[in-house]
């Protein structure tokens, strides 16, 4: 209880955060969105969640459909233009907004200006907590052994690696075990996973083997796409190992 109140009593200069909810979280893992709200509730920061948001357009962009991805990008700007801080539970979607949105409009000065303004205010959850808010201890508790999977876009796209580990290490009761090759791709790759399922499966098998060999009870990550992929195989194998988005871990008390 003391741990909790110390967080709540701290004063943050941030007045409000807007949640940008990855489409997969929205439609398949709403519990992750709820955990995001709980985290900011704990921190005493008001949360806004625009209910018109849909998808960042990454799937279209990665498959080459740039005009369609632009529809998503323009919509994103419209919805979030007045936000101070936009926080997303996905490194991949954050990378789409921060890096690829400006690329999409590099020939359109008017939109590029709008886009750059909004994309520079967009943060992945753990980098927002650790780098912007300078919080590492969220007063969360979890009893068990955890291993952390570095999602490719979170790690190599946004260079986020220490932030989630700092947050996990501060969760009471957690033992963080590093798996072998945590930085190696899980084989998801969006449409790749269904277009080239044999290759995707072979890559995923290595990831799952490394998770199993780590001896962890739970694999935690910052991107639900990868976790969905990993969960898919763990379930098929009948493994007791669970997947958990980092927001769920941090929201837990």
Which parts of 146-165 interact with other proteins (CB under 8 A)? 152-153, 156-157
Burial label, 223 (beta-carbon count in 10 A; 0-12, 13-18, 19+)? buried
Interface with other proteins (CB under 8 A), residue total 64
Q: Which stretch binds other proteins (CB under 8 A): 62-70, 129-137, 141-149, 170-178?
A: 62-70
Binding of other proteins at residue 244 (CB under 8 A)?
A: no
Q: Give the nearest distance from C-beta 54 to other proteins in angstroms.
A: 4
5, 12, 44, 49: which one binds other proteins (CB under 8 A): 49
Beta carbon nearer to other proteins, 135 or 150: 150
Pick from 4, 195, 213, 215 the residue near other proteins by CB under 8 A: 195
State yes or no: residue 65 binds other proteins (CB under 8 A).
yes
* Contact flag: residue 192 with other proteins (CB under 8 A): yes
239 binds other proteins (CB under 8 A): no
Query: Is 242 an interacting residue with respect to other proteins (CB under 8 A)?
Result: no
Our finding on whether 8 is near other proteins (CB under 8 A) is no
Q: Which residues bind other proteins (CB under 8 A)?
A: 21, 25-30, 32-34, 48-55, 57, 59-68, 71-72, 75, 152-153, 156-157, 183-185, 187-190, 192-204, 206, 228-229, 231-233, 235-236
């Amino acid at each position: 209880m003391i741990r909790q109140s110390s967080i709540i009593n701290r004063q943050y200069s941030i007045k409000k955060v807007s949640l940008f909810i990855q489409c997969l979280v929205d439609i398949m893992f709403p519990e992750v969105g709820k955990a995001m709200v709980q985290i900011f509730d704990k921190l005493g920061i008001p949360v806004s969640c625009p209910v018109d948001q849909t998808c960042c357009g990454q799937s279209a962009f990665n498959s080459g459909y740039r005009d369609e991805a632009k529809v998503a990008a323009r919509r994103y700007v419209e919805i979030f233009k007045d936000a101070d801080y936009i926080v997303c539970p996905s490194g991949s979607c954050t990378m789409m907004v921060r890096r690829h949105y400006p690329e999409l409009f590099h020939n359109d000065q008017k939109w590029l200006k709008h886009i750059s303004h909004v994309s520079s205010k967009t943060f992945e959850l753990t980098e927002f907590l650790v780098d912007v808010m300078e919080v590492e201890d969220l007063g969360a508790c979890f009893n068990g052994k955890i291993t952390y999977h570095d999602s490719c876009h979170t790690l190599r796209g946004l260079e986020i690696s220490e932030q989630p580990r700092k947050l996990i290490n501060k969760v009471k009761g957690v033992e963080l075990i590093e798996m072998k090759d945590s930085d190696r791709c899980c084989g998801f790759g969006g449409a790749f996973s269904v277009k080239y399922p044999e290759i995707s499966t072979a890559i995923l098998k290595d990831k799952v083997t490394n998770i199993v060999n780590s001896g962890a009870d739970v694999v935690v990550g910052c991107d639900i796409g990868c976790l969905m992929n990993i969960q898919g195989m763990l379930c098929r194998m009948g493994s007791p190992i669970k997947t958990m988005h980092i927001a769920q871990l941090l929201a837990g008390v």
